[in-house]
A and B are shown apart, each in its own frame.
Chain A
Amino acid sequence: MGSYVPNTLKEREEMLKEAGYTSFEDMFSCIPDEVKLKRPLNLPSGLSELEVARKMEELADMNVVFKSIFRGAGSYDHFIPAIVNSVISKEEFLTAYTPYQAEISQGILQSIFEFQTMICELTGMDVANASHYDGATAAAETIPMCVDRKHKTAYVSATTHPWVIQVMKTYCFGSNTKLVVLPSKDGLTDAQALKSALETDPEAACFYLQQPNFFGNFEDAEAIGEIVHAAGAKFVMGVNPLALSIIKSPRECGADIAVGDGQPLGMPISYGGPYVGFMATTTAMMRKLPGRIVGETTDDQGRRAFVLTLQAREQHIRREKASSNICSNQDLCCLTASVYMAAMGKEGMAEAARQSMSKAHYLREGLKKAGFYPVFHTEFFNEFVTTCPVDDKELLDALEAEGILGGLPIADGSILWCATEKNTKEDMDKLIAIASSITGKGGLSYESNI
């Protein structure tokens, strides 16, 4: 069996004696007999490192690793610079915990301060916290920031990732908050429906808009923000952080709170996690932010120092009156995002964003010729929806046989496609060729009839 207990059996005997026990059983006499487990655990015997590595490799090999990926929907296969993994593998970062002792945690604290700064830069906001579990939980945690005795209803657009809406619903089930999903129209938030809903509800607390939205489409965020503010509610935006290197920031769109998932910033797709949620807001709402926040200060000799700050908001002080129960943060993922942004720089991020967008446009044109017509006709980022004139399983299986993960089948038999800078023209041409071989509509130019 494997073990990470360094002390030898002889040492353990000596230590037991020194602590005043005759045996381990003697020591454990503090556990009442009636709840003691009196049998071995019904588990396999432990394994040596070689055996366990063999077992885990076997499991990893049971998964299909696709050579090229055209599926996004909240998890994006972007390029990760080599420096990222090198930095986050440093054992000090890996094996430290929440920086409770500032004097020996300056490295962690400064890295979080740098992360907060970069998130504020991307979003244009004034203050960011040191992270949430993921974009969906960050989105859900904006609701209690906006709800008060006079503002009780939270709204979310139907163009939001369905899984994000589900997490919001679950959190609202907890807090007994009313959550209303507002309809979409032609792949965008229905501004008219939003306007009339908010106008007739004096208790509207906030509206959540995803940009680009679940279908990849760009919303008219500024106009929507104006409608929300006119109704006296808070405007919350969920954003793709990579896209923010080229599109209008939430601040430029008038948002009160910006959240999102940091996964596109250097995190592998990893079957869904770990990723990181970011959250930023205005100075006016700073004290409503949940989670850890790092601030700059000085030490007793006037040297620059970083500390966890504004802790009066938090659970260890406020207990049941805290703004959230959040205690940890996803620090290693914040670090991942920071190193990614430092390595890419503003030019590199903008280039990755532009290439992802350009490739998605190229792919959409090709798929259109193969008979997969665009469902929406609006500006989009790196995802788009097409019809699927054949059985989606037939298409996806054919792609899989060539090492390609195709788009995600969504409602009404349509498909949500995604491209990133990692997808080459060659890969896309191959995908298009396979698609057209199935529909028999190769190479021909068809105008969309939808």
Chain B
Amino acid sequence: MNLIFEIGKEGRGLSLLPKCDVPVTDLPENLKRQSELHLPQVSENEISRHYTKLAQRTHGVNKGFYPLGSCTMKYNPKVNEEMAALKGFRQVHPLQDESTVQGSLEVIKMTEDILSEILGMDAFTLQPAAGAHGEFTGLLLIKSYHTDRGDTKRTKIIVPDSAHGTNPASAAMCGYEVVSIPSAEDGCVDLDALRDAVGEDTAGLMLTNPNTVGLFDKNILEITKIVHEAGGLCYYDGANLNAVMGQARPGDMGFDCVHVNLHKTFSTPHGGGGPGSGPVGCKAFLQDFLPGARIKGNIEDGYYYEDSPKSMGSVKMFHGNFLVVVRALTYMLTLGKEGIPEASANAVLNANYMRVKLAKKYEMAYDTTCMHEFVMDLSELKHRTGVSALDVAKGLLDYGVHPPTMYFPLIVHEALMVEPCETEPREVMDEACDTLLELYDLAEKDPEWLHAAPHNAVIGRPDEVGAARKPVVKYTWE
């Protein structure tokens, strides 16, 4: 299909601005742009059709099932969008005086308080804009704490080998050396390996629970104890919070700080990759180090910002992705104390429901009760038929289902990680299971068909090697 630069004509455009009603100020010659500026020259009709075509070439949660493991692609309620569009939220300047933004401050304060209760923390900042940004902020909290105590020999962060790639990358951004520890046979933390790894140089541990293979680590209290006894802190990566919210709290598991993904657990739209929001929470002893100003006061006497002298500074301009926070708060208030555990219980139920159905043919990486997601291991299938996890994933595309996460975590070789979420009707999951089971049979009967999949998408498999070898990263005018 055409790029937007390949439609329209010289001279086309929209009528958007009135004539300037004050004398026009000219830019001095030496400041003026010299080079030509190529931008689309299109009518509104052409823009509308172009993006409608692009939308049709995009799979979203609203189009169909999206069981992308570790991404929590749940339904994004419409009321959240309507609330974020309110003029009182959209049309407010970030540097307005506190007295004129009491509504925004109340939104932030309520969200911080609700998150604190769900996570078992004492304080939150909403400044981080994404999960990885939250990890970075959480590790800076740990670094601030050790630095403040003059404990500068703690230079290492322990990360299990099953962790998401952002964990070690975030640790490296904070100047830490990453110590990767192997997972035990059952996919959980190997306690002996952890005991061997901790020491006087341990700054902290980064962990998700349930972990990246979808299992709740039953030794969690022992794990956090080992790290604490060595003088390190425990960081909870909230990627998998949708499994446990209202059932168990990281704060009660011994974690000192956490991040959560509002765009996963709290139903704000992923937007093709963002904007998200990755609030960071902590226990009281860390709260002075949080980034940004803290909100003080109350609804009766008014809220105000207060700087903390020990704050790490700021990880982002202003007060975070505020409109994302508005959506998440709307969701949290909608669900309330009953709906939050109901959501996690059904997320876990749906995952186990699919797991048991698929286990009839597929090998499970860990054949036990999972939390909100589970990992299938297609190594044996690949060995026998040549059909890989990638091939099965591409086969799914022809059935209107977004494939599960492929090749993650790295400790499972031909991994497909399935996370259905609580918002899927039973028959959608039934159909997806039938399709996956059918593809399993097809792998045995007609592997070529799967190697060549997808057959009905708008494009076939793209040449990724060619794309990386000779990168074309922008359109060039002739």
Q: Which residues of the partner chain A approach B22 to less than 8 Å between Cβ atoms?
A: 358-359, 361-362, 425, 428
Contact B90 A268 (CB under 8 A): yes
Contact B247 A28 (CB under 8 A): yes
Q: Which residues of the partner chain B approach A408 to less than 8 Å between Cβ atoms?
A: 95
Contact A249 B100 (CB under 8 A): no
Report the stretch among B172-180, B194-202, B380-388, B435-443 that lies at the interface: B172-180
With an 8 A cutoff between CB atoms, is A444 at the interface? no
Contact B165 A298 (CB under 8 A): no
Q: If the complex has contacts A104-B59, A295-B472, are A96 and B275 also in contact, measured as CB distance less than 8 A?
A: no
Q: How far is the CA of A244 from the CA of B357 in the complex (A)?
A: 57
Q: Which residues of the partner chain A approach B106 to less than 8 Å between Cβ atoms?
A: 59, 62
With an 8 A cutoff between CB atoms, is A383 at the interface? no
With an 8 A cutoff between CB atoms, is B236 at the interface? no
Contact B174 A175 (CB under 8 A): yes
Contact A108 B58 (CB under 8 A): yes
Question: How far does the Cβ of B171 sit from chain A's closest Cβ, in whole Å?
Answer: 6
Contact B140 A305 (CB under 8 A): no
Q: How far is the CA of A283 from the CA of B426 in the complex (A)?
A: 50
Q: How far is the CA of A314 from the CA of B468 in the complex (A)?
A: 13
Q: How far is the CA of A339 from the CA of B83 in the complex (A)?
A: 23
Q: Which residues of the partner chain B approach A47 to less than 8 Å between Cβ atoms?
A: 333-334, 336
Contact B107 A59 (CB under 8 A): yes
Within 8 A of A (CB), among B137-159: 139-140, 143
Partner of A55, one of B58, B333, B464: B333
Partner of A299, one of B24, B336, B462: B462
Contact B139 A121 (CB under 8 A): no
Contact B353 A15 (CB under 8 A): yes
Question: How far does the Cβ of B168 sit from chain A's closest Cβ, in whole Å?
Answer: 4
Contact A28 B348 (CB under 8 A): yes
Contact B467 A343 (CB under 8 A): no
With an 8 A cutoff between CB atoms, is A185 at the interface? no
Contact B173 A174 (CB under 8 A): yes
Q: If the complex has contacts A248-B34, A272-B322, are A98 and B356 also in contact, measured as CB distance less than 8 A?
A: no
Q: Which residues of the partner chain A approach B406 to less than 8 Å between Cβ atoms?
A: 100
Q: If the complex has contacts A102-B459, A342-B42, are A43 and B340 also in contact, measured as CB distance less than 8 A?
A: yes
Partner of A101, one of B47, B104, B168, B397: B397
Question: How far does the Cβ of B250 sit from chain A's closest Cβ, in whole Å?
Answer: 9
Q: Which residues of the partner chain B approach A354 to less than 8 Å between Cβ atoms?
A: 20, 24-25, 27
Within 8 A of B (CB), among A1-47: 1-7, 11-12, 15-16, 18-21, 24, 27-32, 34-37, 40-47
Question: How far does the Cβ of A330 sit from chain B's closest Cβ, in whole Å?
Answer: 4
Question: How far does the Cβ of A397 sit from chain B's closest Cβ, in whole Å?
Answer: 9
Contact B336 A65 (CB under 8 A): no
Q: Which residues of the partner chain B approach A16 to less than 8 Å between Cβ atoms?
A: 349
Q: If the complex has contacts A63-B103, A342-B47, are A49 and B473 also in contact, measured as CB distance less than 8 A?
A: no
Question: How far does the Cβ of A129 sit from chain B's closest Cβ, in whole Å?
Answer: 9
| Contact-residue bracket for chain A | 35 or more
Contact A73 B95 (CB under 8 A): yes
Q: Which of B14, B82, B165, B316 has the most CB of A within 10 A?
A: B316
With an 8 A cutoff between CB atoms, is B79 at the interface? yes
With an 8 A cutoff between CB atoms, is A411 at the interface? no
Q: How far is the CA of A133 from the CA of B320 in the complex (A)?
A: 9
Total A-B pairs in contact (CB under 8 Å)? 670
Contact A135 B317 (CB under 8 A): yes
Q: Which of B169, B326, B346 has the most CB of A within 10 A?
A: B169
Question: How far does the Cβ of B418 sit from chain A's closest Cβ, in whole Å?
Answer: 14
Contact A252 B35 (CB under 8 A): yes
Q: Which residues of the partner chain B approach A89 to less than 8 Å between Cβ atoms?
A: 81
With an 8 A cutoff between CB atoms, is B211 at the interface? no
Contact B103 A358 (CB under 8 A): no
Q: If the complex has contacts A41-B341, A87-B47, A342-B42, are A107 and B323 also in contact, measured as CB distance less than 8 A?
A: no
Partner of A273, one of B44, B100, B318: B318
**Chain B: CB-nearest residue to A41:** B337
Contact A327 B102 (CB under 8 A): no
Q: If the complex has contacts A97-B68, A271-B319, A400-B100, are A170 and B471 also in contact, measured as CB distance less than 8 A?
A: no
With an 8 A cutoff between CB atoms, is B121 at the interface? no
Q: Which residues of the partner chain B approach A248 to less than 8 Å between Cβ atoms?
A: 31-34
Q: Which residues of the partner chain B approach A306 to less than 8 Å between Cβ atoms?
A: 462
Q: Which residues of the partner chain A approach B172 to less than 8 Å between Cβ atoms?
A: 320-322, 325
Q: Which residues of the partner chain B approach A83 to less than 8 Å between Cβ atoms?
A: 14, 44, 47-48
Report the stretch among B125-133, B225-233, B280-288 that lies at the interface: B125-133
Q: How far is the CA of A6 from the CA of B340 in the complex (A)?
A: 15
With an 8 A cutoff between CB atoms, is B13 at the interface? yes
Q: If the complex has contacts A15-B426, A96-B59, A114-B5, are A316 and B165 also in contact, measured as CB distance less than 8 A?
A: yes
Q: How far is the CA of A306 from the CA of B467 in the complex (A)?
A: 9
Within 8 A of B (CB), among A196-228: 218
Q: How far is the CA of A245 from the CA of B27 in the complex (A)?
A: 12
With an 8 A cutoff between CB atoms, is B461 at the interface? yes
With an 8 A cutoff between CB atoms, is A153 at the interface? no
Besides A52-B333, A322-B169, A331-B272, 10 new A-B residue pairs in contact (Cβ under 8 A), listed by A number: A56-B329, A93-B55, A96-B59, A102-B464, A107-B56, A127-B473, A218-B31, A269-B92, A328-B276, A346-B39
> Can you pick out 22 interface pairs between chain A and chain B where the beta carbons lie within 8 Å of each other?
A6-B424, A7-B425, A31-B216, A45-B337, A56-B326, A59-B103, A64-B96, A94-B62, A101-B402, A121-B38, A174-B136, A270-B322, A272-B318, A295-B473, A298-B463, A320-B171, A327-B130, A331-B274, A342-B47, A348-B17, A379-B31, A405-B96
